[in-house]
Structure 1
Amino acid sequence: MNWIDHARKKREIAFEPIYGPIRPKSDSRCFRREMIEELLDAINYGQWSKEKGEINRQQWKRMDSGIRAVIRTIEAACADRFEWETGWT
């Protein structure tokens, strides 16, 4: 496991007291939609990070491009598209 896997697991455990344990097969949420929502948050945080001067414009352009590519990959894997929510085509 790398640091990302460890951090992911810690976040999962940290949210259990709030939301309960994650049970993917019985949870009614659309996890694809949840992924996109979290990635949209990542875009917002990146933009604010650039505005704050924590990252430069070129770093932000690479991050933004990568995050948007992941969102498009998620959409492409879905039979039901989310363009109506995200405004991206």
Structure 2
Amino acid sequence: MREENRYLTGKSIVNRQGIRTELCFLPLLILLPFAVSIILLWSWYYRGFSMGCSDYDGELMLALIILIGNIVFDIPFVKSLVRSIHRK
């Protein structure tokens, strides 16, 4: 019985360290794709849209894919991470 309690205590310690690691990488996980998509959108607008060059439409598509993917997958991840922190 005592060995099981030790195992559970050890498991919660590992769980907390995993959550700390996820919290450390959270700004990088959210801000880096957002910054890249903003740079690509700015490049498309400045070089493609304002100059009338359709060669930069790929940058628009790539920026939208990164931005939408970031919103679709990272927002639920952050919500579940916040819920798991508040449960403990």
When the two structures are superposed, what TM-score results if normalisation uses the length of structure 2? Answer: 0.44
Identify which of structures 1 and 2 has the higher relative contact order when contacts are C-alpha pairs closer than 8 Å and 6+ apart: 2
Which structure has the larger Rg over C-alpha atoms? 2
From the two aligned structures, give the one with the greater helix fraction. Answer: 2
User: TM-score by structure 1 length?
Assistant: 0.43
